[in-house]
Structure 1
Amino acid sequence: MASGDWKETAFLAGAVLIFLTFDVTLVLFAMGWFKPKNHFPVDGRTVLVTGASQGMGRAAVKLLAQKGANVVIVSRNASKMEAVVEEMKRTAMKPQIQRFHYISADLAKNEESIRVVEEVTQWNNGEPPDIVWTIAGAAHPSLFIDVDAEVLREQMDTNYWTAAYLGHAILRSWLKPFSKLSESERKAAGNAPIPRQFIMTSSVAAFAGLAGYAPYAPTKAAMRCLADCLRSELNLYNGARRGTNSSVVATAPVADVKIRCVFPGCILSPGFENESRLKHPITKILEDADIQQTEEEAAKASIKELEGGAYFATTQIIGSAMRAGSLQGSPRNSLIVDTLFGWLANLLWLFIAPDMERKAWKYGKTHGVTKGEPGK
């Protein structure tokens, strides 16, 4: 065989092999062989969600009901929660099996968070909820010195402490050592439990400080830091479950626990109109390019990210870029993608950050610090 014939034959054989491999891969993918793992399974599990009487929380629990979850919602408005429970019952995947419940509570108080965990556990046949997702929160945008000091505390209470207190209560329940569980608690936990999950809802405001968000953004940044701290701590408990001797395993909880955090952007929720009235004009200018999402879009994107395994879950491309550019020591959702995306985001910030600084400076030079509309 001539040299040219050999090369041509090898080329054709390689092309056929690639073609067959591609075809087989497509067939196996269609058969579900490469179906990605769902890191947020809720079918048949009990999920506790705060702030679910309206906004993204309400949209999220409806989706969870459609996916087969038993859902408990917590808010201060009982009448609104009653309506949400009825909606979940109508749209549930398994209406004859799934259960729904609501609890009225002010989670800015630690004792209320403890009560909620106890009540849910009792309602759930002695077993704590499998997943806790804190969505409760509200924004009070304003220049820092234009609000009373009480507003700063209220923002921290509403956004940070409602999540931190509930996280403290549920983790104390979940992380109880196996050796200290009663027989009924061990039985309720099962033999091979799926990891439990504590999810907080922060905001893309945690990734970049903007003029007019000083009362709000730090509360969300604190939540992001709490997620990192808790994730690191949980390595102790999750590692103990894989100990090499019984005395170590006895100190571990019955199931792994995961910490995750969601970072939505601008959501067209009931509070959006009020927030817009409070915003200083420079805040509106600086966030002019933000993508606005409906409650349903934000909830759907959040759940999709959680199902995909994201530790820091974002709901739109701008938020993803901000997340990738500010990860520092936080875990990556994808080592390669987040590293490359982070390099690109940091490069873009070399141009975006100075531009935002100039806009604020220019507005002050032209209009002073007036709250009036630009140019008026």
Structure 2
Amino acid sequence: MQSTALVPALILGAVLPIVVFLSKMFFTSKKWDPRGKHCFVTGGSSGAGLALAVLLVKRGAHVSIVARNEERLQKALAELEKHRQTSEQIIKSYSFAVNSEAGSAAAVKAASEAHGGRCPDAFFFCAGASRPQFWVEQTEQLMREDMDATYGAQAYTALVASREMVKQGVKGKLVFVSSVLGYFSIVGYSTYSPGKFAIRGLAEALQSEFKLYDIDVHIAFPGTIFSPGYEQENKVKPKITLKIEETDGGSTPEYVAETILKGIQKGKFHITVDFIGNVFRASTAGSSPRNSYITDLFYGLVGYIALPIWRNSVDATVLSHRQEHHEYLRQKGIIREER
């Protein structure tokens, strides 16, 4: 940016937050109501995806859930039926792998057929998986698989969904689910965090681009979610990662789902679940739309002071693990026996 254009931009940057804050004080917009809307949820057979689907059904939405495992899908569908509000609600499940454009297109097409070919009004991208491991244990194949499981499983569905929404003139919502590890990362998540960072990059671009179509974009950054997926990842998670996460309280899928839906209804772009999430969000916001210019100043100040201290403590914990880690690598045959 040239210096002549920089001064007006700085003035605008100083004035705009005040204007936005005052407008929010005196003008309120109508909250998004899922009632009667068709909501499409990937990763909807368990965890936060299922919790979101249940919440949407309770709010009177038509809900389509998508996942790979047919058995879990049928159990999830039975759970959704318990919360049906009216006989008119269309509640269905579909078994597809959405980590490819073809799989995502088949899933969206199948869900649309139950609604006369009209694509869903809101897409919730909850599909994803974590496989914590040390970087030196990775292979090209594992790296590709992890990127497909984190980024691809959401990006391909978003591509198919947005094409249909634009084609049909549907002015709805795309809701991505990243992770607090999309703001920062630690040992063990070298192939998981990149995908979550990438989801943020995609959402940032689409949040701007989709103003052309009146399609709202949201992205959630939950921390630890006590779900079946979390239990599975803990079985392979490095000991040092478990040590660092000892003080992480975590959240239930239901709490995460409620927080995401409330964030959407408040029109938030970045949706965080807890205090730590807000600190990282405010500290790494860049030019992202702010949730609150007042509270973000507080969270940003906390982050400026506390996060470097936290990172130093994490690095100290990692270094204290060096001897044990080298022994682990020797047992794995990754490094040679010392002579």
TM-score normalised by the chain length of structure 2: 0.84
Q: Which letter does structure 2 place at the counterpart of 1:216?
A: Y
Partner of 1:102: 93
Deviations 1:132-173 (A, max 9, x none): 001011100011112333221111111111111111111111
Query: Are residues 1:229 and 2:205 paired?
Result: yes
Deviates more, 1:108-117 or 1:48-57: 108-117
Q: 1:81 to 1:371 in 2, by over 3 A?
A: same
Q: Aligned to 1:167, which of 158, 162, 173? A: 158
* 5+ long unaligned stretches in structure 1: 1-33, 177-184, 190-194, 239-255
Q: CA deviation at 1:285?
A: 2.1
Supply the distance in 1 between the matched residues of 2:255 and 2:32 (Cα, whole angstroms): 18
Q: Aligned to 1:49, which of 34, 41, 48? A: 41
Q: Which letter does structure 2 place at the counterpart of 1:269?
A: S
Q: Which letter does structure 1 place at the counterpart of 2:158?
A: G
Q: Which letter does structure 1 place at the counterpart of 2:226?
A: L
Supply the distance in 2 between the matched residues of 1:35 and 1:270 (Cα, whole angstroms): 42
Q: Which letter does structure 1 place at the counterpart of 2:64?
A: V
Partner of 2:305: 347
Q: CA deviation at 1:345?
A: 1.3
Q: Aligned to 2:132, which of 117, 126, 141? A: 141
Q: CA deviation at 1:36?
A: 6.5
Supply the distance in 2 between the matched residues of 1:88 and 1:36 (Cα, whole angstroms): 32
Q: Aligned to 1:336, which of 264, 281, 294? A: 294
Partner of 2:11: none
Q: CA deviation at 1:314?
A: 1.4
Query: Are residues 1:325 and 2:301 paired?
Result: no
Matches within 5 A, 1:189-268: 195-235=171-211, 237-238=212-213, 256-268=214-226
* 5+ long unaligned stretches in structure 2: 1-25, 330-339
Q: Which letter does structure 2 place at the counterpart of 1:137?
A: G
Query: Are residues 1:153 and 2:129 paired?
Result: no
Supply the distance in 2 between the matched residues of 1:91 and 1:269 (Cα, whole angstroms): 20
- 3-state SS of paired residue (2:247): coil
Q: 1:267 to 1:72 in 2, by over 3 A?
A: same
Percent of aligned positions that are identical: 29
Aligned length: 304
Query: Are residues 1:305 and 2:263 paired?
Result: yes
Q: CA deviation at 1:308?
A: 2.2
Deviates more, 1:102-111 or 1:147-156: 147-156
* Contact residue 220 and residue 270 of structure 2 kept, 8 A: yes
* Contact residue 109 and residue 117 of structure 2 kept, 8 A: no
Matches within 5 A, 1:117-136: 117-136=108-127
Q: Which letter does structure 1 place at the counterpart of 2:217?
A: I
* Contact residue 60 and residue 84 of structure 2 kept, 8 A: yes
* Contact residue 207 and residue 216 of structure 2 kept, 8 A: yes
Partner of 1:367: 324
Q: Aligned to 1:280, which of 238, 255, 263? A: 238
Supply the distance in 1 between the matched residues of 2:69 and 2:239 (Cα, whole angstroms): 32
* Contact residue 203 and residue 263 of structure 1 kept, 8 A: yes
Q: 1:43 to 1:280 in 2, by over 3 A?
A: same
- 3-state SS of paired residue (1:137): coil
Q: CA deviation at 1:329?
A: 1.9
- 3-state SS of paired residue (1:49): strand
Q: Which letter does structure 2 place at the counterpart of 1:213?
A: Y
Q: CA deviation at 1:287?
A: 2.1
Between Structure 1 and Structure 2, whose CA radius of gyration is higher? Answer: 1
